[in-house]
Amino acid sequence: MGLENEQQRLTATLKIMAAVDQWGLSNEEIMTLLDFPKGLTRGRHLQKFRKDTPFPNEEQITARMKPLLGIIDALRTTYPRNLNMGPRWMRTPHRRMKQRTPIHTMLEDGDSGVITVLAELDCSYAWELSGSQRN
């Protein structure tokens, strides 16, 4: 999903906010996950992002949005028949994440945690990260 114009950013914002709400994140966790700069917004202001306001067009927020959208899409394709499994998977400890949940992995490890979760869900993304090339 492109994030070049306001409508694309709004669509992505709504998708991410719906997902983090399903995952049961607090306002503080949402701001940490989205890598909001300190002082940019307060937790109580997150409601506007659930309605009609796209996330700020800040480089670090945009950089975090892209892999989060990949995680959301990968959960949807991994569990197409049961929409409750995505949030459940995000809250289940995983061996390859040091027995942490994907949520905690992302919150505690920042960018590398988000990439770890995306690579776990999306084998094509993990393939790209490995540097492997198609013949």
Rounded Cα–Cα distance for residues 94 and 99 (Å): 5
CA count, 13 A, side-chain hemisphere, 126: 10
Burial of 124 (0-12, 13-18, 19+ CB in 10 A): exposed
The H or E element spanning position 135 is none
Rounded Cα–Cα distance for residues 107 and 130 (Å): 23
Predicted pLDDT at 55 = 92
Predicted pLDDT at 120 = 92
Predicted pLDDT at 41 = 67
Each of the 135 residues of the chain gets a pLDDT tens digit; together they read 578 788 999 999 999 999 999 999 999 999 999 998 777 666 678 899 999 899 988 888 999 999 999 999 999 999 989 989 999 999 999 999 999 999 999 999 999 999 999 999 987 655 565 555 555
Predicted pLDDT at 1 = 57
Closest CA to 105 of 87, 121, 123, 93: 93
Rounded Cα–Cα distance for residues 86 and 129 (Å): 23
